[in-house]
A and B are shown apart, each in its own frame.
Chain A
Amino acid sequence: MTRPVEISVPKAAGELPNEKFVELEKYIDNLDTTKGALIRILHKAQQIFGYLPMEVQLFIARKLNIPGSEVFGVVSFYSYFSTQPSGKHTISVCMGTACFVRGSDRIHEKLKEELGIGSNQTTDDGLFTIKDVRCIGACGLAPVIMVDDKVYGRVTEEDLPEILNTYRQKTIDS
């Protein structure tokens, strides 16, 4: 027996800034029609808030006058949508075929161990989020990880601490 991934949508940790709701509302109000626009609106909302906590989903449901369950049904269906806040830096580990055969699963494991979190989770200091993604189109460099927009090719497990430290240092410097 397996237990499917537990899904729960936490409320946002802190107060969500009102101006973000205003921005989202403005976007929705400017649409010609909200019919069939739910996914587009969710994309926008994720772009504004960084993720889709319960409050944001309910806001959209009430604005569109549709059930919260309908919004949540869509959010939980598409892996693109995230109900957890992302860290300052998102580390995407490519699990596509080429990277996988070159050991990206070991990279993935090592990274989780280094940061003490699982996939789609964020470190307590809010610095890193790990994501496992499919092919990012850099198979020649396999195995590949991306930190935000920067691609690291032919990564080894030994490279990881140094890469992580680069970003930790950046934060301290700024």
Chain B
Amino acid sequence: MALKNINITINGKNLTVPEGITILEASNRAGVKIPTLCHLDLHDLKMVNKTASCRVCIVEAKGRNTLVPACVTKVYDGMDIRTNSIRAIRARRIAVELLLSNHPNECFTCPKNMDCELQALAAELGIREIKWEGEKIDLPIDTSSFAIVKNPNKCIMCRRCETMCNEVQTCGILSAISRGFSSFVGPAFNISMAESSCTYCGQCVAVCPTAALTEVNNTDQVWDAINDPDKYVIVQTAPAIRVAIGELFGMEAGTIVTGKLVTALRMMGFDKVFDTDFSADLTIMEEASELINRLENNGRLPMLTSCCPAWVKFIEHQFPELLDVPSTCKSPHIMFGTIAKTYYAEKNNIDPDKIVVVSVMPCLAKKAEAKRPELTKDDANNVDIVITTRELGSMLKEAGINFNTLPDSEFDNPLGESTGASVIFGTTGGVIEAAIRTAYEWMTGKELEHVEFTQLRGMEGIREGTVKINDIDLNIGIAHGLGNARKLLEDIRDGKSKYHAIEIMACPGGCIGGGGQPYHHGNIEIIKKRQQAIYNEDKNKAIRKSHENPYIIKLYEEYLGKPLGHKSHDLLHTYYTAKEKI
């Protein structure tokens, strides 16, 4: 049934709009901007945060005594709205001034300086003084984890993180605690983030308007390593970085800047600039072999991809009884760290203890993953330091590197060579598509005609496809966002899953939408453009199947033997541990 249309007036302009929409939605249609703060509409991710707690979007509606919040108030026939009356403007300003009166005045040194929505709003509303001085909250800053810093003193109680954590990711870690002035957002029982079941997906950080939730900053460690003459510092960059970091330098979302990125990293002083894509190809060698092995030997099905550390931690806490379903493959950047400190070190006669592996990741969970006990045993960390796309951007700015005008250059070899299959690891659906490209050719012995499995692509939260390989109709499931993952996992638990292989990424969109990427500030179109760029980068590659990467072939010939062989099992595979759910 078509929605009934109604007539309303916004700032004297007559409009016909569908019944049931909010004043804010109606204003957007009319091209009238109403400032917002707590409101966040990520429709494509099925998340709308409308707590109406900040009162920044209040407007005047004729005939109503009080101002109304535009984000939650629905329009009605004949409604006469003024968004910019002096009363609305002043009240809006007071709302922001009150928020600022209880906000630390430390923009200069704040990690969100110039990227903060509260700061931007204060500028937009022309606030020149904070009129009220009152009590300020003074709560301890939670630096317990390797991934996320929670500073409740900068929280404006917009509850976006809570909505993300509970409704989209279904992790249920963050909740408002206590009441009134003393209230804050945190895990149950006031335990630390590290003690909680947080997956460190970082989506709370991605939507936090202020610096109440930010990443653990490791940039100083990277500078120290680069400037230590005794260290041999290797950097690797994840597939999703090259299609996003340009945004930090004013480029259009989805601009591919792979060549500039390599040049910039070399200018920073890294000894070698390598590519996580290389080890993504390596992951496919192992993961496709594992899938074939499970298919042919009545192994546990479905097999789930294990590239995403937030997803791995999610299953450890939430479905500890299903720890035999994920592939045992280490994630690509961890595989890279291992290969760099074994094969590469031996081949080039470098003392592995002197090697520092720096991962540039779109992800906060990778920071914590690199510190997992089973991945850091044998004394040497596989990966030493993890920084995000944002952290790399700030380092480049700090170093005065004019990113936009840099010439292109190529990754170093051998760990810089990659295929199109590895590039698409950066988007939802990419890992499984890459695995199928290889598994198909290995199982059929035939060359794949069309390498692009378009049925596996897109932005729907849960997708599926069927690929015929010999006489098997291989059913593939894909989920991104942990709430979607939960649905597939519940089916597996209940014995109802029809899939042979499932790819799961914790972040909406996959790594391109990771918690360490440039802030999208609610614009999901940005993530879609990054996805398109990933597929374009795949198209541009001469080799598009992981098993055809010449340096990967060489790695197996010279060092590893064969996929799932003794050496690769030792070096490239891991295990999972059941964890408590709090």
- A residues bordering B, Cβ < 8 Å? 1-5, 7-9, 54, 57-58, 61-62, 66-73, 76-79
Least CB distance from B509 to A in Å reads 24
Contact of B178 with A9 in the complex, beta carbons under 8 Å: no
The 4 closest A-B CB pairs, nearest first, are A67-B172, A4-B182, A69-B175, A68-B188
Q: Does B448 contact A (CB under 8 A)?
A: no
| Residues from chain A with Cβ under 8 Å of B581 in the complex | 62, 68
Contact of A58 with B175 in the complex, beta carbons under 8 Å: no
Contact with A along B172-202 (1 / 0, CB 8 A): 1111111101101011111000000000000
Contact with A along B408-452 (1 / 0, CB 8 A): 000000000000000000000000000000000000000000000
Contact of A66 with B179 in the complex, beta carbons under 8 Å: no
Contact of B177 with A68 in the complex, beta carbons under 8 Å: no
Contact A8 to B190, CB < 8 A, known contacts A73-B177, A77-B179: yes
| Residues from chain A with Cβ under 8 Å of B188 in the complex | 57-58, 61, 67-69, 71-72
Q: Considering only CB atoms, which chain A residue lies closest to B179 in the complex?
A: A77
Contact of A54 with B189 in the complex, beta carbons under 8 Å: yes
In the assembled complex, 8 residue pairs joining A and B whose CB atoms fall closer than 8 Å, in A order, are: A1-B136, A7-B178, A9-B190, A62-B581, A67-B171, A72-B175, A73-B176, A76-B177
Contact of B178 with A77 in the complex, beta carbons under 8 Å: yes
Q: Of B135, B137, B138, B173, which is within 8 A of A67 by CB?
A: B173
| Cα–Cα distance between A11 and B138 once the two chains are bound (Å) | 25
| Residues from chain B with Cβ under 8 Å of A54 in the complex | 189
Q: Of A3, A4, A70, which is within 8 A of B178 by CB?
A: A4
Contact of A7 with B190 in the complex, beta carbons under 8 Å: yes
Contact of A69 with B179 in the complex, beta carbons under 8 Å: no
Least CB distance from B212 to A in Å reads 15
Contact of B178 with A69 in the complex, beta carbons under 8 Å: no
Q: Does B139 contact A (CB under 8 A)?
A: yes
| Residues from chain A with Cβ under 8 Å of B172 in the complex | 66-70
Q: Of A1, A9, A62, A69, which is within 8 A of B138 by CB?
A: A1
Contact of A5 with B189 in the complex, beta carbons under 8 Å: no
Q: Does B582 contact A (CB under 8 A)?
A: yes
Q: Does B101 contact A (CB under 8 A)?
A: no
| Residues from chain B with Cβ under 8 Å of A3 in the complex | 138-139
| Residues from chain A with Cβ under 8 Å of B84 in the complex | none
Contact with A along B154-180 (1 / 0, CB 8 A): 000000000000100001111111110
With A2-B135, A70-B166 given, name 7 new contacts (CB 8 A).
A3-B139, A4-B184, A7-B178, A68-B581, A70-B175, A76-B179, A77-B176
Contact A1 to B135, CB < 8 A, known contacts A8-B190, A66-B172, A68-B189: yes
| Residues from chain B with Cβ under 8 Å of A70 in the complex | 166, 172, 175
| Residues from chain A with Cβ under 8 Å of B139 in the complex | 3-4
Contact with A along B569-582 (1 / 0, CB 8 A): 00000000000011
Q: Of A4, A57, A78, which is within 8 A of B137 by CB?
A: A4
Contact A69 to B187, CB < 8 A, known contacts A1-B138, A3-B138, A58-B582: yes
Contact A67 to B178, CB < 8 A, known contacts A8-B190, A57-B188: no
Tally of contact residues, B, Cβ under 8 A: 25
Q: Considering only CB atoms, which chain B residue lies closest to A62 in the complex?
A: B581
Contact A5 to B182, CB < 8 A, known contacts A57-B188, A66-B172, A67-B175: yes
Q: Considering only CB atoms, which chain A residue lies closest to B580 in the complex?
A: A58
Least CB distance from B320 to A in Å reads 13
Least CB distance from A134 to B in Å reads 15
| Cα–Cα distance between A170 and B456 once the two chains are bound (Å) | 75
Least CB distance from A90 to B in Å reads 22
Least CB distance from B546 to A in Å reads 39
| Residues from chain A with Cβ under 8 Å of B582 in the complex | 58, 68
Contact of B138 with A2 in the complex, beta carbons under 8 Å: yes
| Residues from chain B with Cβ under 8 Å of A58 in the complex | 188, 582
Q: Of B137, B174, B176, B177, which is within 8 A of A7 by CB?
A: B177
| Cα–Cα distance between A93 and B342 once the two chains are bound (Å) | 70
| Cα–Cα distance between A76 and B186 once the two chains are bound (Å) | 12
Least CB distance from A170 to B in Å reads 35
| Residues from chain B with Cβ under 8 Å of A5 in the complex | 178, 182
| Residues from chain A with Cβ under 8 Å of B173 in the complex | 67, 69
| Cα–Cα distance between A62 and B188 once the two chains are bound (Å) | 13
Least CB distance from B416 to A in Å reads 43
| Cα–Cα distance between A77 and B177 once the two chains are bound (Å) | 7
Q: Considering only CB atoms, which chain B residue lies closest to A74 in the complex?
A: B175
Contact of B189 with A72 in the complex, beta carbons under 8 Å: yes
Most chain A CB within 10 A, of B178, B184, B188, B581, is at B188
Least CB distance from A126 to B in Å reads 23
| Residues from chain B with Cβ under 8 Å of A73 in the complex | 175-177
Least CB distance from B132 to A in Å reads 15
Least CB distance from A165 to B in Å reads 36
Q: Considering only CB atoms, which chain B residue lies closest to A4 in the complex?
A: B182
Least CB distance from B187 to A in Å reads 6
| Cα–Cα distance between A84 and B137 once the two chains are bound (Å) | 24
Least CB distance from A148 to B in Å reads 27
| Cα–Cα distance between A76 and B177 once the two chains are bound (Å) | 6
| Residues from chain A with Cβ under 8 Å of B184 in the complex | 4
Least CB distance from B103 to A in Å reads 13
| Cα–Cα distance between A5 and B138 once the two chains are bound (Å) | 11
Contact of B189 with A67 in the complex, beta carbons under 8 Å: no
| Cα–Cα distance between A61 and B175 once the two chains are bound (Å) | 13
Least CB distance from A58 to B in Å reads 7
Q: Of B166, B181, B189, which is within 8 A of A4 by CB?
A: B181
| Residues from chain A with Cβ under 8 Å of B175 in the complex | 67, 69-70, 72-73
